[in-house]
Amino acid sequence: MKKITKSQGRSSRYRTLREEAFEANKQLPQLGLVLFTFGNVSAADRKEGVFAIKPSGVPYEELTPARMVVVDFEGKVVEGKLRPSSDTKTHAVLYKHWQEIGGISHTHSTYATAWSQALKDIPVYGTTHADHTTVDIPCTLPMSDAMISGDYEFQTGFQIMECLRERNLRYTDLEMILVGSHAPFTWGSTSSKAVYNSAVLESIARMAFLTEAINPGAVRIKESLLRKHFDRKHGPDAYYGQ
Amino acid sequence: MKKITKSQGRSSRYRTLREEAFEANKQLPQLGLVLFTFGNVSAADRKEGVFAIKPSGVPYEELTPARMVVVDFEGKVVEGKLRPSSDTKTHAVLYKHWQEIGGISHTHSTYATAWSQALKDIPVYGTTHADHTTVDIPCTLPMSDAMISGDYEFQTGFQIMECLRERNLRYTDLEMILVGSHAPFTWGSTSSKAVYNSAVLESIARMAFLTEAINPGAVRIKESLLRKHFDRKHGPDAYYGQ
Amino acid sequence: MKKITKSQGRSSRYRTLREEAFEANKQLPQLGLVLFTFGNVSAADRKEGVFAIKPSGVPYEELTPARMVVVDFEGKVVEGKLRPSSDTKTHAVLYKHWQEIGGISHTHSTYATAWSQALKDIPVYGTTHADHTTVDIPCTLPMSDAMISGDYEFQTGFQIMECLRERNLRYTDLEMILVGSHAPFTWGSTSSKAVYNSAVLESIARMAFLTEAINPGAVRIKESLLRKHFDRKHGPDAYYGQ
Amino acid sequence: MKKITKSQGRSSRYRTLREEAFEANKQLPQLGLVLFTFGNVSAADRKEGVFAIKPSGVPYEELTPARMVVVDFEGKVVEGKLRPSSDTKTHAVLYKHWQEIGGISHTHSTYATAWSQALKDIPVYGTTHADHTTVDIPCTLPMSDAMISGDYEFQTGFQIMECLRERNLRYTDLEMILVGSHAPFTWGSTSSKAVYNSAVLESIARMAFLTEAINPGAVRIKESLLRKHFDRKHGPDAYYGQ
């Protein structure tokens, strides 16, 4: 009897978190961002020092809140019967080092992945991009052989952080990145915002591809317009939204 | 009691207009022209000197007629509890100066936005384009720094008007334009027609991209065929439709 | 009373034909081949010497069998309250001269229209194409000014026939063509087959665009393989289908 | 009475197999991989030495388990009233020579077919590809005239095997191939896995096309990363999935 009570207690402790992660993961196929079991979203509970993430290799239509796996910021499973996403340690590293994020999303969405494979940053060509960040979306260098043969998924987290450091960017300056030869990761204050960013990135990536195809000499949006669009949504005097 | 009556009176005064704007906005996601909260449509009541427009940052699935915001042609809110679209002043300027339009639509649809970002006009390559206008779809120059740092959304309206003036075009010669580094605006006699034009522009933009990809030396449709197609739909002896 | 009887008799005379045309037209939006009111399909009754066609400018969701317009092979309306498609005379010319066809379909589908605007034939690159015809899909030259200023839609029919004549092709050798600067027309033994051909052409056009984008030096499918695929579906010893 | 019993016996013998093949075929249109009657999937029963395959030229919406055709590994029909897919002998050859596969899928999916028509291998540009195989997806040379004029569909099977042999690859090294000027074939331990591979190949083909369009000088994923991704899913210490 005690054990059941304890188990129920443990279960309810993270119920809300698992439900949040479940809802966020369900959005990926609805937004056309994933095929089969590809991709994964996590939602963090900062007070508890844990996050809930998609189980590895499970189709989206078979997900339930109970199947989400709860993991701490070292990447250790805290609760859940299934094995967590193979990318779990990448999420753990980012949660551990980036204090203000509450959600992470990883997809192999078509256009963002193509830019990752092309090893090219996505230039900021217009206001759709500027509405979300003022900088090009960086594409990391391929990982070193030593990092790959080490703890690969942990290293992917460090690879992402190192790319931002090299470019003198903070994780609050932009909420999306391309991992070279791999695919995008996005983040945000909540898991829902991270998924939103995955969809925005896919849209930006597609438009940038078309912009260059239409005009191979396309130039970046001018600085003043870039700043104006970002600030009207995110600046101190923002007037977008309610 | 009086106040309630008055409020109801005011509310019913614009009820039809708000419903029209609501219906037109709902078409944008149905036609695949918007992601999340991007884009906005307005519907004008010329007699009342106002237009109803989408509230800022509200997802399309949460829209109701009551949530539409009624604004006058100076850009001042007349009725509505929510903040209007951040692009409201652009709509206001165009309604004020263009006497014959009853609706305006703004999207970040993929192909039209790519042409905007490429800073290129869309050449009239075929009859799909010629069925709607006889001229290339203009792309405005990027706005000057002075205009951007001024009242940006008002200036976007003037930027659009200036672009037509430079090319010696009237707003009745075409009902769509690309704002450079930004995205398209379309208009028409009603908000429904404006949305129709957004979808037509996206189709034209996509076909023109493909036309140039298939044949980098593609040439414009010949003048006589261009004129024939436009006139059979819009000329004095038009015989298209019922 | 007599008049009503007569009218009913006349109505039932073409009921089956109007229903066939209605069903075929309804397939166009289902197959993603049309936007709004664009496009039109007709179905012919050879014994009666007439065809039923979509009314002009009517959205597909508002079509009913009763709204189809019955027209003779000179392009004269025989039955129906609505104005027939503006492309009706093109259909009439082809029915009059091509004895064995029972249906015609006209769309502005994206990829086929892009090839039309590019004024380029679609080379036969693979078996998907070869399963349907052994020749490149021809793109007609733009029409002469004299033809355009004459009876334009009749002339479009002659333009199509002239293009086949120049290339020494019979209308039974292929069931699809690109009208230069305009869009595709397809035909077949029935209206349903004509619509099928519109969808096949769109698929072929898209794949051919991608083939050239992937390999600018792409070459046509070899003659023996081309012939094999066509013959296994359409030759004297065909073994495809039931 | 005896005959009915016998027939029922024969029928139930392959019932499960026919149902498996039916379910796998139904997935093709759901995954957007086929148009009309194009494509076909088969499921093998190794103990019985037979496979069930789609009947030729039948639309997917008209398929039932009973309409699947049961064929032996020589390509001879064992059970079924309908004619089997025209590609049946290609399936038979592969089942006969490749002992470990239980399903085969053939589509004319857009991007994979475009690479086939371009006669180009799909380079392994990223982890989406590396998650499934460590090698480029080969495109076979066009078949010789002698093979085409022989037993074409049998020869297609040998063409596929010969292509792997030339490149020193086993059919377990990769589960997908492009037949030059034609379209892709995929296989796997079950028919469901074969269909899964068809969808994965289409995704890989699309991303590779975009990768080269974005960066004409794109390079393959580095060997260590390629190996890491493949091994975490398929190596002796795989940790992907449950």
Separation in Å, CA of A85 to nearest CA in chain B = 27
CA–CA distance, D111 with D114 (Å, rounded to integer) = 5
Q: Give yes or no for B206 touching C (CB within 8 A).
A: yes
CA–CA distance, C112 with D110 (Å, rounded to integer) = 15
CA–CA distance, C226 with D49 (Å, rounded to integer) = 33
Which residue in the block uniquely carries the two structure tokens 């030593």?
A146
pLDDT score of A241 more than 80 = yes
Q: Give yes or no for A211 touching D (CB within 8 A).
A: no
Q: What is the 3-state secondary structure (H, E, C) of C215-239?
A: CCCCCCCCHHHHHHHHHHHHCCCCC
Return the pLDDT at D12. 78
Minimum Cα–Cα distance from C195: chain D residue: D36
Q: Which residue in B156, B163, B17 sits closest to B91, CA to CA?
A: B156
Q: Which of B237-241, C128-132, D46-50 has the lowest mean pLDDT?
A: B237-241
pLDDT score of B72 more than 70 = yes
Separation in Å, CA of A65 to nearest CA in chain B = 24
Size of interface C-D (CB pairs under 8 A): 91
Distance of CA A218 to the CA centre of its chain: 28
CA–CA distance, D180 with A207 (Å, rounded to integer) = 32
pLDDT score of A4 more than 50 = no
Q: Which residue in C201, C132, C220 sits closest to D180, CA to CA?
A: C220
Return the pLDDT at D7. 45
Q: Give yes or no for A73 touching D (CB within 8 A).
A: no
pLDDT band at A12 (very low <50, low <70, confident <90, very high): confident
C57 and B199 within 8 Å at the Cβ level: the answer is no
- Chains touching B (3+ CB pairs < 8 Å): A, C
Structure-token pair, residue B175: 């009902």
C203 and D35 within 8 Å at the Cβ level: the answer is yes
Q: Give yes or no for C119 touching B (CB within 8 A).
A: yes
Q: What percentage of chain B reaches a pLDDT higher than 90?
A: 94
pLDDT, chain B, mean: 95
Name which of D208, D225, D232 is nearest A143 (Cβ-Cβ): D225
DSSP-assigned letters across all residues of D138-187: -BPPPPPHHHHHS-HHHHHHHHHHHHHHHTT--TTT-SEEE-TTS-EEEE
Q: Which residue in C175, C161, C180, C164 sits closest to C114, CA to CA?
A: C180
Contact A114, D210 (CB under 8 A): yes
> If DSSP codes are grouped into helix, strand and coil, which group holds residue A69?
strand
- Chains touching C (3+ CB pairs < 8 Å): B, D
Return the pLDDT at B3. 42
Separation in Å, CA of D219 to nearest CA in chain A = 8
C45, C72, C131, C151: which one is catalytic? Answer: C131
Average pLDDT over residues B59-79: 97
Name which of A55, A56, A182 is nearest D126 (Cβ-Cβ): A182
Q: Give yes or no for D130 touching C (CB within 8 A).
A: no
Name which of B127, B225, B242 is nearest C58 (Cβ-Cβ): B242
- Continuous segment of H or E residues that includes residue A24: helix A15-30
Structure-token pair, residue D115: 């690479």
Return the pLDDT at B8. 45
Q: What percentage of chain A reaches a pLDDT higher than 70?
A: 95
Which residues share a beta bridge with A122? A137
Return the pLDDT at C1. 34
What is the torsion angle, in degrees rounded to the nearest 10, for the CA atoms of residue D73, residue D75, residue D81 and residue D84?
110
Sequence-distant (≥ 6) Cβ neighbours of residue C18 within 8 angstroms: C52, C65, C66, C68, C70
pLDDT in tens, B95-120: 999 999 999 999 999 999 999 999 99
Q: Does domain C6-234 have CATH number 3.40.225.10?
A: yes
Q: Which residue in B117, B113, B54 sits closest to B86, CA to CA?
A: B54
Q: Could you give the angle at the alpha carbon of B236 between the alpha carbons of B233 and B238, nearest 5°?
A: 30
Name which of C38, C56, C118 is nearest B215 (Cβ-Cβ): C118
CA–CA distance, C192 with B234 (Å, rounded to integer) = 32
Q: Specify the pTM.
A: 0.96
A127 and B181 within 8 Å at the Cβ level: the answer is yes
Average pLDDT over residues D128-137: 97
Q: Is the alpha carbon torsion for A6, A9, A14, A18 positive or negative?
A: positive
D117 and C241 within 8 Å at the Cβ level: the answer is no
Please state the length of chain C.
Answer: 242
Q: Which residue in C103, C88, C99, C110 sits closest to C157, CA to CA?
A: C88
Decide which of A186 and B7 is more confident. A186
Query: In C, which residues are within 8 Å of B222 by CB distance?
Result: 142, 145, 181
Return the pLDDT at D59. 97
Average pLDDT over residues A123-138: 98
CA–CA distance, B104 with B25 (Å, rounded to integer) = 10
pLDDT score of D31 more than 50 = yes
pLDDT in tens, C112-157: 999 999 999 999 999 999 999 999 999 999 999 999 999 999 999 9
Backbone torsions φ then ψ of B185, nearest 5 degrees:
-125, 140
Concerning whether C131 is annotated as a catalytic residue, the answer is yes
Distance of CA B173 to the CA centre of its chain: 14
What is the phi-psi region of residue D57: left when phi exceeds 0, alpha when psi lies from -120 to 50, beta otherwise?
Answer: left
Which residues share a beta bridge with B53? B42, B69
Q: Give yes or no for A145 touching D (CB within 8 A).
A: yes
Minimum Cα–Cα distance from D156: chain C residue: C225
Backbone torsions φ then ψ of D162, nearest 5 degrees:
-65, -40
ipTM over 0.85: yes
B152 and A214 within 8 Å at the Cβ level: the answer is no
Average pLDDT over residues D71-99: 98
Q: Give yes or no for C237 touching B (CB within 8 A).
A: no
Among A34, A117, A141, A209, most D C-beta atoms within 10 A, so best to mutate, is A117
Structure-token pair, residue D216: 């004409």
pLDDT in tens, D133-187: 999 999 999 999 999 999 999 999 999 999 999 999 999 999 999 999 999 999 9
Q: Give yes or no for A222 touching B (CB within 8 A).
A: yes
Q: Give yes or no for D154 touching C (CB within 8 A).
A: no
Query: In B, which residues are within 8 Å of A127 by CB distance?
Result: 108, 181-183
Return the pLDDT at B160. 98
Instruction: From first to last of the 242 residues of chain C, give the pLDDT tens digit.
Output: 334 444 444 557 999 999 999 999 999 999 999 999 999 999 999 999 999 999 999 999 999 999 999 999 999 999 999 999 999 999 999 999 999 999 999 999 999 999 999 999 999 999 999 999 999 999 999 999 999 999 999 999 999 999 999 999 999 999 999 999 999 999 999 999 999 999 999 999 999 999 999 999 999 999 999 999 999 999 999 999 99
pLDDT in tens, A83-100: 999 999 999 999 999 999
Name which of C222, C233, C242 is nearest D142 (Cβ-Cβ): C222
First to last CA, chain B: 50
Query: Which residues of A are catalytically annotated?
Result: 131, 240
Q: Give yes or no for C83 touching B (CB within 8 A).
A: yes
Query: In C, which residues are within 8 Å of D183 by CB distance?
Result: 126-128
Question: SS3 breakdown of chain C: % helix, strand, coil, rounded to 5?
Answer: 45, 15, 40
Contact C191, C130 (CB under 8 A): no
Among B31, B186, B207, most C C-beta atoms within 10 A, so best to mutate, is B207
Name which of B56, B120, B152 is nearest A215 (Cβ-Cβ): B120
C127 and D213 within 8 Å at the Cβ level: the answer is no
Domain extents in chain A: 6-234
Query: In A, which residues are within 8 Å of D213 by CB distance?
Result: 114, 209, 213
> If DSSP codes are grouped into helix, strand and coil, which group holds residue C144?
coil
Separation in Å, CA of C99 to nearest CA in chain D = 27
Query: In B, which residues are within 8 Å of A224 by CB distance?
Result: 145, 148-149
Structure-token pair, residue B113: 């936005």
Minimum Cα–Cα distance from A126: chain B residue: B181
DSSP-derived letter for residue C178 is: E
Q: Give yes or no for A219 touching B (CB within 8 A).
A: yes
Q: Give yes or no for C1 touching D (CB within 8 A).
A: no
What is the phi-psi region of residue D36: left when phi exceeds 0, alpha when psi lies from -120 to 50, beta otherwise?
Answer: left
B121, B131, B151, B231: which one is catalytic? Answer: B131
Query: In A, which residues are within 8 Å of B212 by CB distance?
Result: 214
Q: What is the 3-state secondary structure (H, E, C) of chain A?
A: CHHHHHHHHHHHHCHHHHHHHHHHHHHHHHCCCCCCCCCEEEEEECCCCEEEECECCCCHHHCCHHHCEEEECCCCEEECCCCECCCHHHHHHHHHHCCCCCEEEECCCHHHHHHHHHCCCECCCCHHHHCCCCCCECECCCCCHHHHHCCHHHHHHHHHHHHHHHCCCCCCCCCEEECCCCCEEEEECCHHHHHHHHHHHHHHHHHHHHHHHHCCCCCCCCHHHHHHHHHHHHCCCCCCCC
